[in-house]
Structure 1
């Protein structure tokens, strides 16, 4: 007769012990570096909510300190900063180091992804089995993306117009596309882009919609092409040494915040906010949204076809069946209605 009571008492005792263990976890600081301004939309929709959630779930034993605006290093160096322990966690655009992460670059292929939220979830789910090898010197947290287009000094509607232009491209795949079309690539990070455009170093930029405003680039470009030209893919990664020193409870908190659910959440929150920038620019004085006809859009898609062949070949070279991997990514995108 006393068995249920005793079983319940034991269970409560175990739960209490677990709570005490969590409460007694040694406090640690997570130095999280990124290269966006602290006022940027991703800071408000991604970094800050994630940090608060980690702190709450760890009962305050993990304190997240955000280091924005390249405080700990240049944008292109953020992957190595996590690897080397300059930061405990970083937000990385792998496309800033073209060719270093050839498998992950699939998500950058033009016109592949149409919706940032489900697209982020699809990319993250697809890439996880490759991350263990391609990003083995860090702990992979999750991947997400945004979608962008051309913003330029003059209207751009057809691929032939790009020839001879100087383009600040969003990533390595986008840069390869511009080279294919006869443009010259200007290699600067997002924080340096406005200066390049204002000084005439670049004629156009591939960028998401709202960041054109938040980075002040709307002062330098007035025409915006209404097409889903490209996606830029990002990863959140951790220093392995920092993670390995955590208690079991703290590791679980981090693992619970490094999953596909968070990839989808951040991808949707930030990606949809970025897309909303189109309406802002449409209403802004002196700005023109350049509409494309279906025939013009078909020209762009046809012009991008060689990039798909190149990606398959680059994946094959690192021991991944490129054709099969691309089919799997397309299937993941289709299943989540992200294409």
Structure 2
């Protein structure tokens, strides 16, 4: 009788623990991004970040990931966080030209040498301005890709070669650069780029190296300018309503996962993966990489110079001190050892 009683008690306790373990998390968040689930930013950036939050919160916060524009189009992801369509969104600010002029400074060529310490520097710098420029959301992380290059159907060696070309630019700043060079911009998101190129709507694009393979663009573009000259910024944003609804201890968990150190960690896997694509092309007989001479690099730098003047004009028009913001960015890049 005692044994039966003990057995019933043990069984009841086991069932109770099982039920507790099966309970839903206290907070269920949805994270939306527009890249395919196979893109390295998901397994090497987003998933480890979400898992770390789950662990740090003792399982109280669970984040479900929705890739490939399942919840909305790529250019809409800022507004999706603002409006609570998703709790966390992955945003390319450059997809909406002119909306975030301070952040667009990051997109100007010849400023940052890598995407890892560069991400930490960008995070520290932009934290001064995030509440002013993106007041509707909580800016959590900065995520530049490994510096990208020109990829084209016909060779591009000097700025004059872009004249007359239709180019899919990485962001609004590069679109402006293409226009300065006499080319025309084909404004499509990364997932739509292959179709534009295959249909002849675009002749070239700016892109990081291994993503050329990921999106199947290596089958269309075989000429590559071997010069890492620009970075495209992505940000991880959190709905303010979702964040404010958290108890204080869980807000602390989120705050601890929205730091310059996390921006670097979040960016490292993708940066390493992209860099490997360049060597893959070097080893391939199907691709030609052209390394510009010092004189040709000087031509590219000269051609890009008006972008900074234009950026200062745009930022000043919004009521900001453009010179002070620019100097702050340069100082922060230098502090992290990533100034071009």
Tell me if TM exceeds 0.5.
yes
Name the SS of the counterpart of 2:149 in structure 1.
Answer: strand
Residues 40 and 269, structure 2, Cα contact 8 Å, conserved in 1 = no
Structure 1 segment 295-314 matched on structure 2, within 5 A: 295-314=295-314
Runs of 4+ aligned residues of structure 1 deviating over 4 Å after TM superposition are none
Measure the CA separation in 1 of the matches of 2:320 and 2:141.
Answer: 21
CA deviation digits over 1:65-111, x for unaligned, max 9?
00000000111111011111111100000000010000000000011
1:212 maps to which residue? 212
1:9 maps to which residue? none
1:71 maps to which residue? 70
Measure the CA separation in 1 of the matches of 2:266 and 2:128.
Answer: 20
Q: Tell me by how many angstroms 1:26 deviates.
A: 6.5
| 1:188 has 2:181 as partner | no
1:277 maps to which residue? 277
1:5 maps to which residue? none
Residues 159 and 299, structure 2, Cα contact 8 Å, conserved in 1 = yes
CA deviation digits over 1:86-145, x for unaligned, max 9?
111000000000100000000000111111111111111110110001000111112121
Name the SS of the counterpart of 1:246 in structure 2.
Answer: coil
| 1:109 has 2:108 as partner | yes
Larger displacement relative to structure 2 (51-60 or 317-326): 317-326
CA deviation digits over 1:262-282, x for unaligned, max 9?
111122332232122101122
Structure 1 segment 60-209 matched on structure 2, within 5 A: 60-146=59-145, 147-209=147-209
1:18 maps to which residue? none
Name the SS of the counterpart of 2:316 in structure 1.
Answer: helix
1:4 maps to which residue? none
Residues 83 and 240, structure 1, Cα contact 8 Å, conserved in 2 = yes
1:224 maps to which residue? 224
Give the superposed CA RMSD.
Answer: 1.3
Measure the CA separation in 1 of the matches of 2:313 and 2:269.
Answer: 34
Name the SS of the counterpart of 2:210 in structure 1.
Answer: helix
Measure the CA separation in 2 of the matches of 1:304 and 1:69.
Answer: 33
Residues 149 and 206, structure 1, Cα contact 8 Å, conserved in 2 = yes
Name the SS of the counterpart of 1:227 in structure 2.
Answer: coil
Structure 1 segment 27-66 matched on structure 2, within 5 A: 27-66=26-65
Residues 116 and 272, structure 1, Cα contact 8 Å, conserved in 2 = no
Q: Which runs of 5+ in 1 are unaligned?
A: 1-23
1:328 maps to which residue? 328
Name the SS of the counterpart of 2:148 in structure 1.
Answer: strand
Residues 25 and 62, structure 2, Cα contact 8 Å, conserved in 1 = no
Taking structure 1 as the reference length, what is the TM-score of the superposition? Answer: 0.91
